[in-house]
């Protein structure tokens, strides 16, 4: 999920906004204003924990089960 940094033009608060939905609008955490300025991230976002979206795919514990499907 992309994380964007915004700066509120009203109160000057800088905060990170996690965009879960594309249509979601960032809102200032301080004063609740939508008057925000998108900040350029000066540092690279750490992506050291890549989560694979596999779901609950339970495999055979012994590895000898025939593959069904």
Strand, helix or coil for residue 41 = coil
Contact residue for Zn ion among 18, 19, 31, 60 (CB under 5 A): 31
Number of residues that bind Zn ion (CB under 5 A): 8
Q: Are 14 and 4 in contact (CB under 8 A)?
A: no
Rounded CA-CA distance 18/26 in Å is 9
Q: Which stretch binds Zn ion (CB under 5 A): 8-16, 18-26, 40-48, 58-66?
A: 8-16
Rounded CA-CA distance 21/18 in Å is 9
Residue 9: CB minimum distance to Zn ion, A: 8
41 contributes a contact to Zn ion by CB under 5 A: no
24 contributes a contact to Zn ion by CB under 5 A: no
Hey, how many other C-beta atoms are within 10 angstroms of the C-beta on 1?
A: 6
Residue 58: CB minimum distance to Zn ion, A: 47
């Amino acid at each position: 999920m992309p994380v964007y940094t915004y700066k509120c033009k009203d109160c000057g608060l800088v905060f990170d906004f996690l965009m879960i939905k594309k249509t979601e609008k960032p809102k200032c955490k301080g004063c609740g204003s939508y008057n925000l300025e998108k900040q350029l991230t000066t540092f690279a976002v750490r992506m050291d924990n890549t989560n694979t979206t596999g779901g609950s795919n339970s495999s055979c514990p012994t590895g000898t089960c025939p593959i069904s499907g």
